[in-house]
Structure 1
Amino acid sequence: MLRVPHRPAVGPSVMTGLCVLSFLLDASVVSRSHVGLAVLASGALALGAAAAQTWMYGTGRQVVACGLSLCVAACSLLTTSLVQGAVLQRTPGWAELCGLLALLCLTCRYARPSLVMVCSVPLFVAAMRTQERAPVVLDLPVFRDVDGLFVLLPMAFVLLGGYLRGEDGRRRAAARDVRRAERLDLARDLHDHVAHYVTAIVVQAQAGEHIVEKDPATARRLFSNIEQTGQDGLVAMQRMVRLLRTSETATAQAAVTPVMTSIKELVRRADSVGQRVSLEIVEGVKADDWPPQLAKTAKRLVQEGLTNVRKHARTASAVHVRMEVAAGRLVIHVRDNGTSQHHGRPWFLPSGFGMIGLRERVDELGGELSSGPMPEGGWELSASIPLNWADRKPR
């Protein structure tokens, strides 16, 4: 499981504070009559609808969110008709305006294309017409020289919602590309993984056929191994097929280099580019016994860790890679000694797409992945994967 440090939600807190202030401002200046109560009620409805829509769009309730937007727009227009020209009315309803603008932005960002125009046009008109409630507001010095203020504000929030929608789309596309590339990489490994288990089954079956009469005890042990190997192979293929949700075909990969040889080569190459990179393999790490998926993931962990150091910790002078076995789990640490650069270094989840594929691999093996600063300084990428992952039920 990928652990990310908790960050306080500053944006929602600020927006909540502004909404409360705007509501209190309306309450302090509206007339104490049914007109003033209508303005306050409409403002509360708009703010509540904006808060509810953040949940609705997150849970896929697009039609309900659209219907709520239309209801708020209709209530706002009705309130405008009711209070238009009221003698003691000195506010257009700032709380309601904030709610309408928030709904407009949320609609342009999250609504389906077929619903954007249906919802945004009534909200835009309702926000624009709030100026008709208190013409005296436009005579204030701060607004006197601003032409079309109540048109520019909705337009600005429409553009903001459209911009955020585009950013969301680009991020989803980038994440899809990363996952697709990782699945294709897994597909290329599929042939070797199948061959690994099938070859073991065939060899043991041939041996058992020759000794079944001479040494029945050994033959029974071989047949038991065949059964276990077949089960491990089925588990491995089931896990990989779940990841390969696309229909692209894979090509067979060439001979696989032993994982420790590949890792040592990665360390050697990283050490040759200026940073001192060391590799520590604690006694008990037997890579020859690892299944292909575990070996591939171990290599990818070291590769991604060294790549992140080169990208984000260029001032680090030393990098240490440690591999050990503890409590039946393979534990890999990639640590650097960078200090000051970590203060401005972002956590990898918001922008580090290279970690997405790595997380899929680690999760599929029942492991845990974390990344973050160390108390003594520097940065650490750490993973813990059970060696007997094939015995675990798929999650």
Structure 2
Amino acid sequence: MEQAAAFVALAMMIVAFVPRVPPAWPAATAGTISIAITVAHPLAGWRGDTVPWVLAEVPALLVLTLMAARRAPAPRAVASAGLAGGAVALMLVRALWPGDVTFTVVACASWSLLAVAAAGAGLYVRVLDDGRRRAVAEARRTQRLVLARDLHDFVAHDVSGMLVQAQAARLAPGAVPPQVADALRRIEEAGQRALAAMDRTVQMLHEADGVGGADGAGPDAAGPLPGVGGLAQLAGGYSPSVRVDLSVDPGLERRLSQETSATVYRVATEALTNVRRHAPEATYVAITVTRVGESVRVRVDDDGGGHSQAADRGGFGLVGLTERVEVLGGSLSAGPEPGGWRVEALVPAHPSWRLRHAGARASRPAAGRGEPA
């Protein structure tokens, strides 16, 4: 029977690594069977060499205990990890029974420390996983608030232009038909209401999430992003110890939507921030912005060695930035290259509503310097 318990434990450990298998039931199954065999061992008077099978069964049960404590839902984690860990604690009964009861209890209590250590390791990793998920969600939420503010600025600019045109048409010399005058008046009133509604909505979003003012969503929270035209000032004001080469296709800014231009600037800003934070040994950064078909590509390369420290320190700037790029229907990647690091984004020059909608849906499921998604 010890052989059967060992085989079940090993089989359940393998099953627990299969994707989409609930982590609780393999640990609970192996633990229940192991405890049942341990209890039946002295009752049935079984004898035999249990040590080889214990050495095979215990590691599998410890792995199951760790996985259940880390991945199972909270109520099930207690039960499944408790069964697998309890099976480990009682394992010595098979070898020590019959014998001195006190010695058996002390031995089992000492043996249970292995299960306690496995469960503790699982809980520790669980806390780290939960913290990372919260940080990723916060980065995405913050970036969405920044995007909402930027969208307000872009739409307000266009709506204001429409209002100016409507007002100019009403004041045009000559008689204006009553129907046309009434339509222009309604257009002007609707535009004013739309601007006021956008102001209220964006303000409520920022106040509800505590984003704004000195504690805003980033260095660009005080006003709209400069866009491609602001890259020269951004590169010129960077660290004097780092040479920044900027290459932008001539006249590119005039051929981009405001959303895309602002996103290009945001990608460059985040990449330069990551160089300063995570690659202090870097001496050279190259920013290249080019038109590629109906899209624009922004690429930032540095010679910082390509070693990511953000994975250890929990950097999530690129997580939110990826959210912003995907909403526009683009893509963003970041990773090491020979001798350095590269951040590259491809964004539609004029994102359509269909692309934005598809990008938003693709980014909802949930990564390296700055942790890109």
| TM-score, length-scaled by structure 1 | 0.68
Residue from 218, 227, 242 that aligns with 1:259: 227
CA–CA distance in 1 between the matches of 2:28 and 2:172?
80
Deviation at 1:207, TM superposition (A): 5.4
- Counterpart residue number, 2:350: 388
Q: Secondary structure at the match of 1:389?
A: coil
Residue from 79, 85, 110 that aligns with 2:71: 110
- Counterpart residue number, 2:367: none
Alpha-carbon spacing, 1:47–1:193, altered in 2? closer, same or farther (3 Å): farther
1:174 aligns with 2:135: yes
1:160 aligns with 2:126: no
Contact 1:103–1:123 (CA under 8 A) maintained in structure 2:
yes
After superposition, residues 122-161 of structure 1 pair within 5 angstroms as 122-135=83-96, 149-161=110-122
Deviation at 1:356, TM superposition (A): 0.6
- Counterpart residue number, 2:366: none
Q: Secondary structure at the match of 2:118?
A: helix
What's the Cα RMSD here? 3.8
CA–CA distance in 2 between the matches of 1:324 and 1:66?
51
Residue from 265, 269, 282 that aligns with 2:237: 269
Contact 1:316–1:337 (CA under 8 A) maintained in structure 2:
yes
Once the two structures are superposed, what CA deviation does each residue of 1:341-363 show, in whole Å capped at 9, x if it has no partner?
A: 33x43586994311111100111
Contact 1:187–1:249 (CA under 8 A) maintained in structure 2:
no
Contact 1:43–1:96 (CA under 8 A) maintained in structure 2:
yes
Once the two structures are superposed, what CA deviation does each residue of 1:155-198 show, in whole Å capped at 9, x if it has no partner?
A: 11011111111111221222233223222322333431331232
1:300 aligns with 2:260: no
Alpha-carbon spacing, 1:201–1:75, altered in 2? closer, same or farther (3 Å): same
Contact 1:54–1:106 (CA under 8 A) maintained in structure 2:
no
Once the two structures are superposed, what CA deviation does each residue of 1:100-149 show, in whole Å capped at 9, x if it has no partner?
A: 2122112221223333333333222211111122349xxxxxxxxx9955
Alpha-carbon spacing, 1:185–1:327, altered in 2? closer, same or farther (3 Å): same
After superposition, residues 34-113 of structure 1 pair within 5 angstroms as 38-55=1-18, 61=22, 65-84=23-42, 86-91=46-51, 92-113=53-74
Contact 1:276–1:317 (CA under 8 A) maintained in structure 2:
yes
CA–CA distance in 2 between the matches of 1:52 and 1:208?
72
Residue from 275, 286, 291 that aligns with 1:309: 275
Alpha-carbon spacing, 1:318–1:80, altered in 2? closer, same or farther (3 Å): same
Contact 1:284–1:325 (CA under 8 A) maintained in structure 2:
no
Contact 2:151–2:259 (CA under 8 A) maintained in structure 1:
no
User: Residue type matched to 2:245 in 1?
Assistant: S
- Counterpart residue number, 2:252: 285
- Counterpart residue number, 1:318: 284
Deviation at 1:390, TM superposition (A): 1.8
CA–CA distance in 2 between the matches of 1:148 and 1:212?
97
Identity across matched positions, percent: 30
Q: Secondary structure at the match of 2:296?
A: strand
Contact 1:283–1:324 (CA under 8 A) maintained in structure 2:
no
Once the two structures are superposed, what CA deviation does each residue of 1:285-340 show, in whole Å capped at 9, x if it has no partner?
A: 12x453332122111111011112222332222212111112121111112234xx
- Counterpart residue number, 1:363: 326
- Counterpart residue number, 2:317: 354
Unpaired segments ≥5 residues, structure 1 = 1-37, 137-145
Unpaired segments ≥5 residues, structure 2 = 98-106, 214-220, 359-373
Alpha-carbon spacing, 1:249–1:313, altered in 2? closer, same or farther (3 Å): closer
- Counterpart residue number, 1:345: 308
Alpha-carbon spacing, 1:169–1:336, altered in 2? closer, same or farther (3 Å): same
